[in-house]
């Protein structure tokens, strides 16, 4: 095959064959195809698109570029969830313990945060001693013993995606739906679960800011997963405001503990989305009807079983369980600033990505993959969309160990909050479901 001919085909919007796609992925991963030619193909895909079949072929070629986890030792009801990312999205740390407390195995590989979205691994590593790096054998052994393990991507999983994503990041081809879908689903398929529930975010704090684009991405990924023999579905959830009140690593872990220990008096938006995800995961593996699944989720939240499972997982992965039992032990940042409302009114809208950037300025996130995060930095909202605030009322607390970042972060926060004289219209947290 010749890369020139493949580039010419896609430039004119023609379909690539299965063998052509696999040849390109294998060649680029091994270094035989240079980056400049792969960049040209990615741009052609971005402009001309891919068919469902092409996208599925790209997904499987990327998944097959490395190891594929074998979860058969955990039974036939293995289920994974994936979020496309958002600000304050800590649902994995709530949903995983819920599912495991009900008796289903949760073998979850998660990533670190980059840009305005937080990473599950960063949140977990804010718990002193918590280990996210382990061998495949350790990972599976933890799931067998405790029903739950959340770890960083280990071994040689999807090396093609790592190389291709790095190229997309510098060639303005990140926002292609076929490329996003293939990137996400190749990792989910390589992770080995037989069932996959996708939490696709939409709104100003999501990568898919438009509901139509979010639905298109969800449908593409569901089609890929089902076409690759994995029962796949998606739930489209709102990200036009941070999920919950905390943004930042140990701040979010403390909010997770509040949900798991006293769900009725915790952030209700975070609770609603977490319950919806967990219930639909149970429903996908035929645990019960959806209403019964929701009732079971609430049962393990209210009786403390989910909190116990979270603490058990933390201890099993080397973390200090006492921090879960007493969240006041978490490190508090050296510097705190109160953000006050400049006038009275309703919080009508929030630039959610702006708040994520403000948290990153404080040290809670990364601008580049090499950046270190400060686990105690971040933001806690005391008011959110729909709240009425008086002039001078505290609407947020900023936390950081870098005193010089406070002023810049405060300016970013203030410009991200819009006040209105009337209460804004309520936006649903669950927009749609695909394949459920």
Q: Would you name the residues annotated as active-site residues?
A: 82, 161, 168, 183, 187
Q: How many CB atoms lie within 10 A of CB 390?
A: 10
Whether residue 223 contacts residue 216, with contact meaning beta carbons closer than 8 Å, is answered with: no
Q: Label the pairing between strands 417-420 and 345-350.
A: antiparallel
| Residue in 250, 234, 278 with CA at minimum distance from that of residue 377 | 250
Q: What are phi and psi of 285, to 5 degrees?
A: -95, 15
CA angle 197, 22, 182 (to 5 degrees): 25
User: Among candidates 189, 275, 292, 176, which has minimal Cα distance to 232?
Assistant: 189
| 215, 236 contact by CB (below 8 A) | yes
Instruction: Enter the tokens of residue 238.
Output: 């709102």
What angle is formed at CA 384 by the lines to CA 378 and CA 385, rounded to 5 degrees? Answer: 135
Nearest to 13 by CA among 60, 46, 62, 35: 46
DSSP-assigned letters across all residues of 211-247: HHHHHHHHHHHHHHHHHTT-EEEEEEEE-SS-SSSEE
Continuous segment of H or E residues that includes residue 3:
helix 3-11
Q: How many CA atoms lie within 13 A of 35 on its CB side?
A: 9
Locate 373 and state its tokens: 């995060």
- Nearest by Cα to 364 from 234, 226, 279, 242: 242
| Kind of pairing between the strands at 106-110 and 79-83 | unpaired
- Burial class from Cβ neighbours inside 10 Å (0-12, 13-18, 19+) for residue 291 reads exposed
Block residue for tokens 């599912």: 99
- Give the whole-angstrom CA distance, residue 417 versus residue 56: 41
Q: What share of the chain is helix, strand, coil (3-state, %, to 5)?
A: 50, 15, 35
């Amino acid at each position: 095959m010749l890369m020139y001919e493949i580039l010419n085909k896609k430039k004119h919007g023609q379909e690539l064959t299965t063998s052509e796609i696999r040849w390109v992925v294998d060649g680029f991963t091994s270094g035989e195809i240079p980056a400049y030619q792969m960049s040209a193909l990615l741009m052609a895909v971005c402009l001309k698109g891919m068919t469902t079949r092409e996208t599925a072929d790209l997904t499987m070629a990327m998944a097959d570029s490395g190891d594929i986890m074998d979860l058969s030792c955990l039974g036939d009801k293995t289920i994974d969830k994936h979020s496309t990312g958002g600000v304050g999205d800590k649902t994995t740390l709530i949903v995983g313990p819920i599912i495991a407390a009900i008796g289903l195995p949760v073998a979850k590989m998660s990533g670190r945060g980059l840009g305005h979205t937080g990473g599950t691994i960063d949140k977990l590593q804010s718990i002193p001693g918590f280990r996210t790096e382990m061998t495949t054998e350790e990972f599976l052994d933890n799931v067998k013993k405790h029903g739950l393990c959340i770890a960083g991507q280990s071994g040689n999983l999807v090396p093609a995606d790592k190389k291709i994503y790095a190229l997309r990041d510098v060639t303005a081809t990140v926002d292609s739906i076929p490329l996003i879908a293939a990137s996400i689903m190749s990792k989910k398929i390589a992770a080995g679960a037989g069932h996959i529930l996708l939490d696709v975010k939409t709104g100003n704090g999501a990568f898919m800011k438009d509901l139509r684009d979010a639905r298109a991405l969800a449908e593409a990924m569901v089609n890929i997963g089902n076409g690759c023999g994995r029962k796949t579905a998606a739930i489209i959830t709102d990200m036009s405001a941070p999920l919950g009140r905390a943004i930042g690593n140990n701040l979010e872990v403390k909010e997770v503990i509040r949900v798991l220990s006293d769900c009725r008096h915790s952030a209700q938006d975070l609770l609603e989305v977490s319950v919806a995800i967990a219930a639909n995961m149970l429903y996908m593996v035929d645990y019960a009807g959806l209403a019964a699944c929701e009732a079971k989720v609430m049962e393990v939240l209210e009786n403390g079983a989910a909190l116990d499972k979270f603490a058990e997982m933390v201890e099993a992965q080397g973390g200090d369980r006492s921090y879960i039992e007493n969240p006041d032990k978490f490190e508090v940042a050296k510097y705190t600033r109160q953000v006050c409302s400049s006038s009275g009114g309703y919080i009508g809208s929030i630039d959610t990505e702006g708040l994520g950037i403000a948290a990153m300025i404080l040290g809670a996130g990364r601008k580049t993959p090499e950046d270190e995060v400060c686990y105690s930095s971040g933001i806690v909202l005391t008011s959110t969309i729909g709240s009425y605030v008086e002039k001078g009322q505290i609407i947020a607390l900023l936390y950081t160990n870098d005193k010089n970042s406070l002023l810049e972060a405060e300016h970013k926060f203030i410009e991200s909050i819009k006040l209105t004289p009337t209460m804004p219209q309520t936006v649903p947290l669950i927009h749609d479901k695909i394949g459920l």
